[in-house]
Structure 1
Amino acid sequence: MRALLILLLSLASASAETLRIGPPPIMPALPELVLTGENLGTVPSLLVLRVDDRASPPYHDRANIERMVPPGPFTLRLRLPLLTTPRGRAIEPGAIRLAIADARDSGMRLSRLAIEGAPALPLGVHGWSFAPEGAAPLSGMTSVIPGGPGLTGINPRHVRRPGEDPILARGMTGVTRFAAPLPPGDWKITLWTEDPGEWETLPQLLEHRVRINGRDVVLFRRTPEEWAAQRYFAGREGEVTDSPWAALGARRGGRIEADVQLAPGEDLVVELAGHPRAATHLAAILAEPGTEGRRAMEALREARFNENWPVLHRPAAQNATRLSVTSPAQSWAAPGSIVALRFTATGPAGTLTPSWIWQGEALPMRVLWGQWRWRRPAPETPGVVLSAAHLRADSEAIPLPAGLPREITALVTIPEGAPPGERRLRLSVGGATAEARLTVLPLRRPAPSQRVGVFLDVAPHLTPAQSSRQSACDLETLRALGLDLIAPPLATPPDHAALVADLAAAATRFPGPIIAYAPLRRLEAQMGPRDAAQTLVAAERAIAAAGLPQPVWVVADEPSGAGMADRVRAMAVALREAGSEARLAGHLNNPADTALLPLLHLATVNQGYGADANDIARLRAAGLRAFLYNMPRLRLAAGFYLWRSGAEGLLQWHARMPTADAFDPTDGREGDVQFFWPTPGICAAPDLDADLLEILAGQEDLRWLAWLETAPGDAAVALRRRLRREVPATWREAMALPPGAPELWQNAIIALARDLVR
């Protein structure tokens, strides 16, 4: 009986802020930690769970789980055998000593913490799980292991994929045939076949055949372009749904359904073939007379999705019909600026055909509209918000959703030679109009001494030849937007021709230093330090022969967290012994990384390492070039805080780093980070992310600060002193600033500029 499987161990208190349980007398075969409670507040709150399978383990040797819980009642379920420590060790359910749920200081009340068995397969349903032992979606399913009965394959092995889907997160690749006995009769067969991908790579499934008892139920062959159109961009057009599950989880799984009739003595036989290896991926199979099992599996997926990906925020419905300017109706700018003029349209569902009219001399602009989709509010946050941060560039006909505003942005570039004076930009949609005024001031600003840029990699859905063309267009777009620092995609030596071509594409558009993020670390991982050093020396010679500047090679990427410090030291020693003159860089996010500073020429640091003005001063005193990287509060970090910190620049992650499906923020260890959203074709008008506009706004703040540094008069001196006082020199204080602080400071500088040019 199911009641016998429920092993409830909880505190006597029915409502508390912290709950603890010890080991149960008997552990179920598929144990799950179940927590119920209620968030009594009005905003999402953080819940922390801890599971120990050793006596008093340190943080790195226990499971530590964080969840954002929206207001209202909640239930969370965690499969114990699937929990891991920060260093990747799997928790041993049979050795569990303690589980703690902690909601202190969160306005949350916890009512129950228990260990239960997993939900069971419905009666009469046969099921096979291709996940590792302990990871079957439902109890009662047969676990299939490599080399087990009925299984044939090419090096079949279990795989662990990012995300928390109870079926898709674990499966087996390399399965070419699976056979299992079933009673004779009519059966409904369901297969879950999708390999969700690993890190940024979504498997490019080009050939696929699925045969069940001699009949092909799936058979196709397609080109990479057809795969991109049919699969990679399948989630691009979806917008505005009441349910994140319907928009994201329900369309995943690679579910295949078929009816088979088995004669006496005939086995169920499933055969897989195709290219690449993902064509031989299986997560689960069900055989049943009806559809109860299929519904139970999909209900399990939906329930776990909703638990793991709660809605943290969605905008209120807006039913009024109107067109308005949402940025200041009057803006001031200087030559060399990039200004975002924002408009909002609301009304019944339909299509907007915008008409733009300049009064005064027209200025170059790109028009973008914000597509509503679910996204994580930060890459690590376990929850989603409805956001219009995907800025689409196909703006001739703009769909208007019912009940939600359509945000339309005119990103206006003011050339250095633009004459001063007022321009008016009028947007007309149907019979409605809205107008923004932009006044170009008669002044010239010096270039900032500090620089802002991004990491850039290849578009992962493209072929190598296509991605090279796209990368060149990406570099051109970033430079045209005014960014002046880059960590570009670079080929790995010994492919010297490709490396030189990639470096030339970056160096002709961006001043140094060019940050070589991946090549040296790839070499070290592939060859070991000595051979990697010899290979890099040859690459340095090829770069010099091409007349190009040497990049700064990243040798350490958050090394303390990855346990890589000794390998970094070995690589640096090997380079010296090989006679390399390579300048080395490290991305540092832990105070322990300080030990590596003598090996480096350039350090990028964030708040984890220490990003205060004093931290930057110490790095510079040690002879290193100091940059910030991967900071939150993008406008603040790229502008006023960068100026106050004294760092040489900011390098932000990432222009192209989606996790697998670029239109699903829930399928990776982190959310998709992509200042450039993927677009069909090569070098099409780029879709941008609103985060990139925040970085551009920060760079515009830097330009005004550069002007203020040389502005004459007592008023300019007073404003410089005021900003030195008001802009914090520590990141902790900066994070406490209200979101509108940078805009207020920029307005103060512009007000001074207007007074001086009257």
Structure 2
Amino acid sequence: FAPTPDIAVPGFETVLPNDPRLSPGAGALVRTQNDPLLSSGLNGIRTITVPWTHSATATVSLWTEDQGEWEYFPHSLNRTITIDGQVVLDQHYTPDEWIDRVYRRGLWKEAMIDGDPWSVYGRDRGGLVTATVPVVDGKIVVELASDQPPNNGYIAAMVIAPGASTAAVDAVEAWRRQRYGERWPVLDTAVDPALARGVTLRVLPAGTPRSQHPFWRAGLPVETRQRAARGSLVSVDFLALANVDDLSANVSVSAPDGIASQVRWGKWTYMRRGVGENALAITSDVLEGDLSFLRIASGIPRRLNVTFTVPTDAPAGPLPVTLTLDIAGTEVSATAVVNVLPLTLPPITEPIGYYLNAPPYEAWFRPTPDQADREMACDYAALRNFGMTGISPDLVTPTPAQLPRYLQQTRLARDAGFRPPFLDYTSVKRLDAAVGTAAMAADIAAAETQLAAAGLPAPLWAITDEPADDPAGIAALQRVHDALKAQAPGAKRAGQLNNPSNRKLLGLFDTVLVNFGYGVSAAGFAELQGRDITPWLYNMLDYRGAAGFLFWRVGARGYLQWHARAFTADPRDPTDGRESEYAILPLSASRCQPVATVDARLIETADGMGDLQWLRWLEAQAATDPAAKALRDDLFAAIPADWQAYAQKPPDLFALRKRIMDFAAAKVEK
């Protein structure tokens, strides 16, 4: 079922929207060319009538689920399919049931343990319904009833076979599986299961990459040592490998009084990460906080992560943290010894963090404001627990009717502890499209007034996002700038720029967020500040560097990374969007579970922020200590002053931080 004849699948007849077998005439949906059977379909159909005289009974197979795109995922609560008078699907969900049974389906399936991508999530795509029915009056009549357009009356493909044979549909599914594997090869390989000898647990040395693919080394230690200042975040990875299965392994942490540790396990996940855009990797980067689903599979390593904050009153000296794992009755342990330095690092005063939206289903099944805020407060707490200071928060558009809610959401972000200004990524463009430029500016002015009256911080108002270099677009952007300047002169205008051609637009902004596409350099940022434009980073490839050494070296004043929650269509399928999934807060059973599920790249950002704190401590020492100044100058020279040079020869950030910590340790020991 396709909008045009040129969309064809081998072995299938292409059915167009105006085909007389369809009633009424259909609409069309075209998606990314990911699965040839699901990349297009027709909707708005009530009946499909196909003459059939080949047999008295027939097996009918229907692929009924739209693949989805961007944030959209088909979310019909009520679906009924009838074939020749027989009801073959009668599905009715409440919104909460739909979220649990459809949106979170297969949540606990894992790469390798539960099979290849097809087994883990691919076979769930398409909404296949198969039934054997008596043929009535020489024809097969399929009746579709469903709600939630545009997925109402949707169908992507149909197969009819005589009798009760499923050979045809099985062949189609086998072909889909083969094509999917060819389109999305998995480039990572599993660990050789022969390496599993007994039950083992190791601790990964500090400096091990946070993003991890399948690996095991027999020489990994059972104890490591590292340093940390008081009040610092410490995150330690452990790796277990066993030659037995355990579907309910038990884990515990032993630490001195005052240590509130959080334990997570790395869920093996297929991702478009580290292997380009046209292949899949296997990572353990989804760090799941719900330990009740922790399982050990023979021959497959299991990552475990322990994160805690060193108490501000911790005594100097060793602070041992031991992880113990019970696998099939055998206990194994490994220890990270943290040597606490008797000093406290300066806090980060700049906003560093993430863009964040509520889950897409809140747009389809709207919660009450209080319900939404309870869930969002949990998201904010998860980010703040890893030290994030900046946020582009989830906000309604500040129309007159929604302005009270806008203030409430701003208060929620402020009270979570994020540092203003917050980036309002969408309001200006949405208002401009909905009510026109003049009315948009009036609404922004009203929002500024009401925020000030409530004692709340005004945001940075994003007026463009990666603008194209076209005269009409630039003229429209100029009109937005002029209207805001006239009606809301105090409003701070921001733009996200990713191309050198955007330089001609700099006069329109108070703050610019730039990435490597635009150009990131100390000289460029100094030029911006000379023009009274505040430079921020956004969407950088090196999360740690952008939050730490590079941030410091180029003189950034803020940094936001895309994205804490940007699922494309099915949140478990990494291939159904035009770009990779971005979800620092991955899909979980509950956003408010006691230990939040996070992506390991959040720890990369936290590591960078720790680097920045050490640099700020060193700069303070350098004011009076020549040795500190010499080290500071060495580090300044060691970090390339522009992204291009930095990316060509990335510095060893762990080693650079170690130099500062070595200096600090020697200083406090004197």
TM-score, normalized by length of structure 2?
0.89
TM-score, normalized by length of structure 1?
0.79
Q: Is the 8 A contact 2:437 2:483 kept in 1?
A: yes
Match of residue 10 from structure 2: 138
Pairing 1:34-53 to 2, within 5 Å after superposition:
none
The match for 1:249 among 122, 147, 172 is 122
CA RMSD across the alignment: 2.1
More displaced, 174-183 or 432-441? 174-183
Pairing 1:100-115 to 2, within 5 Å after superposition:
none
More displaced, 285-294 or 162-171? 285-294
Q: Is the 8 A contact 2:84 2:134 kept in 1?
A: no
Paired amino acid for 2:626: D
The match for 1:327 among 190, 205, 208 is 205
Q: Is the 8 A contact 1:459 1:678 kept in 2?
A: no
Q: Is the 8 A contact 2:253 2:261 kept in 1?
A: no
Q: Is the 8 A contact 2:23 2:46 kept in 1?
A: yes
Pairing 1:195-344 to 2, within 5 Å after superposition:
195-241=66-112, 242-264=115-137, 266-277=138-149, 278-289=151-162, 290-317=165-192, 318-320=195-197, 321-328=199-206, 329-344=224-239
Q: Distance in 2 between matches of 1:571 and 1:379?
A: 40
Report the Cα offset of residue 447 of structure 1. 2.4
The match for 1:452 among 352, 370, 377 is 352
Change (3 A) 1:184 1:381: closer
- Match of 1:704, SS? helix
Match of residue 354 from structure 1: 251
Q: Distance in 1 between matches of 2:141 and 2:293?
A: 50
Q: Distance in 2 between matches of 1:597 and 1:738?
A: 29
Paired amino acid for 2:658: N
Q: Distance in 1 between matches of 2:664 and 2:352?
A: 24
2:664 maps to 1:753? yes
Match of residue 482 from structure 1: 387
- Match of 1:560, SS? coil
Q: Distance in 2 between matches of 1:405 and 1:738?
A: 29
Q: Is the 8 A contact 1:452 1:484 kept in 2?
A: yes
Match of residue 102 from structure 1: none
The match for 1:464 among 354, 367, 372 is 367
Q: Distance in 1 between matches of 2:397 and 2:237?
A: 42
2:317 maps to 1:421? yes
- Match of 1:532, SS? helix
More displaced, 198-207 or 406-415? 198-207
2:600 maps to 1:690? yes
Match of residue 648 from structure 2: 736
Report the Cα offset of residue 310 of structure 1. 1.1
- Structure 1: runs of 5+ lacking an equivalent: 1-128
2:442 maps to 1:534? yes
Change (3 A) 1:379 1:583: farther
Q: Distance in 2 between matches of 1:188 and 1:160?
A: 27
Change (3 A) 1:480 1:700: same
Report the Cα offset of residue 705 of structure 1. 0.6
Q: Is the 8 A contact 1:543 1:550 kept in 2?
A: yes
Report the Cα offset of residue 198 of structure 1. 2.2
Q: Distance in 1 between matches of 2:510 and 2:80?
A: 53
Change (3 A) 1:667 1:433: same
- Match of 2:517, SS? coil
Match of residue 219 from structure 2: none
Match of residue 386 from structure 1: 282
Q: Show CA shifts across 1:319-352 (max 9, x none).
A: 2331111134111101221111221111022132
Report the Cα offset of residue 757 of structure 1. 0.2
Paired amino acid for 2:567: P
- Match of 1:142, SS? coil
What's the % identity of the aligned pairs?
33
Change (3 A) 1:140 1:409: closer
Report the Cα offset of residue 596 of structure 1. 1.7
Match of residue 550 from structure 1: 458
Q: Distance in 1 between matches of 2:275 and 2:10?
A: 30
- Match of 1:644, SS? helix
Report the Cα offset of residue 575 of structure 1. 2.5
Change (3 A) 1:163 1:641: farther
Q: Is the 8 A contact 2:275 2:281 kept in 1?
A: no
- Match of 2:361, SS? coil
Q: Distance in 2 between matches of 1:134 and 1:709?
A: 64
Q: Show CA shifts across 1:95-130 (max 9, x none).
A: xxxxxxxxxxxxxxxxxxxxxxxxxxxxxxxxxx24
Q: Is the 8 A contact 2:258 2:311 kept in 1?
A: no
Q: Is the 8 A contact 1:533 1:580 kept in 2?
A: no
Report the Cα offset of residue 644 of structure 1. 0.6
Report the Cα offset of residue 139 of structure 1. 4.9
Report the Cα offset of residue 609 of structure 1. 0.4
Paired amino acid for 2:404: A
Paired amino acid for 2:602: L
Decide which structure has greater strand share: 1
- Structure 2: runs of 5+ lacking an equivalent: 207-223
Count the aligned residue pairs. 625
Report the Cα offset of residue 608 of structure 1. 0.3
Q: Distance in 2 between matches of 1:379 and 1:489?
A: 31
- Match of 1:327, SS? coil
Pairing 1:675-714 to 2, within 5 Å after superposition:
675-684=584-593, 685-711=595-621, 712-714=624-626
